[in-house]
Amino acid sequence: MRKGTQRAGKHQERTKILYLVFFILLVCLATASFAQTTPTITLTSSVNPGINGQAVSFTATVSGGSGAAIPKGTVTFLDSGTALYFPVTLNATGAAVFTSSNLSVATHSITARYSGDNNYSAVTSSALSEVIVPAPASDYTLTASVLTQSVEVGSSTTYSLTITPTNGYNGTITFTCSGLPLGTGCAFNPSSLTPNGTESDLITSVTVTTTGNSSALRTPANPKSENQNALLTSLGGLFGAFVFLGNGRRKRIASLRSQNWARIPLLGLLAATIILSFSSCGGSSSSTSGSTTPIGTQTFTVNATGTAGTNGGNTSVHQISLTLIVTAATS
């Protein structure tokens, strides 16, 4: 009787132990099925350093390892612990992307915090130092496709000029010339350019016009013949005067005083004739000349002056030096 009771007790103890072991196994299996692993998370930036106002994209990639399930859930991007935006859902590859153009000029400590899912626990990335620098002032460059041109004096030549805006320059640019050679003028077509905020090239041209020698020397067709004519005229006048004086001696003495008074105008006319005739013996010439462009190599400057536009662009004068080779006319 006692042995039966002992056997029954031992059997109950074994049964309890078996139940306990089974329960422990069940607990272990249940715990194992809900266990989460810690994923890896990396954070990258599209541009670093960035420019103030420039769009910067941050990408957080969450991975469970080779062959593991792709993590699901969301990622929150933070700047020094402050969320920059709402949580971003991971895509099919386990990546989340956030883009911002509102970061201030400073060094920003950016982190990405993963929310976790059934398979993976929450995790936060290492901090990424994103540097944002001030945007450079909008500006433009002035260039010429050809810096030197040759031209015959009295003719014109044209240079092509290119304006290349940078950093959104949209002011109005006007052009002038300085240091032009004597007798030279310039004209621009168009006379001003206004970029539209893109970095597309704009073209203008400057035409330089030179002035040729317009002087003309006027000389007698036959100086010798003219001198001979003047001499003959003078001799004729002298002969007439002597004839008149000879005839006067035959007059009566009573009219002598009146005749002397009559001779005075004649002698004056004779003297004037002689002076004028001899003054013409040497010929005559006259020359007219304008501002003639000198022959040789000349340099001048094209000045471009722009307004600030809406972006606070550079308003200083931009210059380029051009060379003009003036040659003698061939005809």
The answer to whether 74 and 89 are in contact (CB under 8 A) is: yes
pLDDT digits (tens, 9 = 90+) for 208-251: 999 998 643 333 444 444 444 444 444 444 444 444 444 544 44
pLDDT band at residue 24 under the 50/70/90 scheme: confident
Rounded to 5°, angle at Cα 100 from 98 and 103: 130
Domain 40-133 has CATH 3.30.43.10: no
Read off the tokens for 159: 């240079």
- Domain residue ranges of the chain, discontinuous segments joined by +: 40-133, 139-214+291-327, 223-279
Q: Is the pLDDT of residue 274 over 60?
A: no
Domain 139-214+291-327 has CATH 2.60.40.10: yes
> pTM of the prediction?
0.49
pLDDT band at residue 16 under the 50/70/90 scheme: confident
Q: Is 167 left (phi over 0), alpha (psi -120 to 50) or beta?
A: left
| pLDDT in the model for residue 29 | 54
| pLDDT in the model for residue 240 | 47
Give how far Cα 62 sits from Cα of 69, 76, 239, 325, Å.
Answer: 11, 12, 132, 69
Question: Does the fold of domain 139-214+291-327 match that of domain 40-133?
Answer: yes
Give how far Cα 260 sits from Cα of 69, 263, 295, Å.
Answer: 147, 5, 67
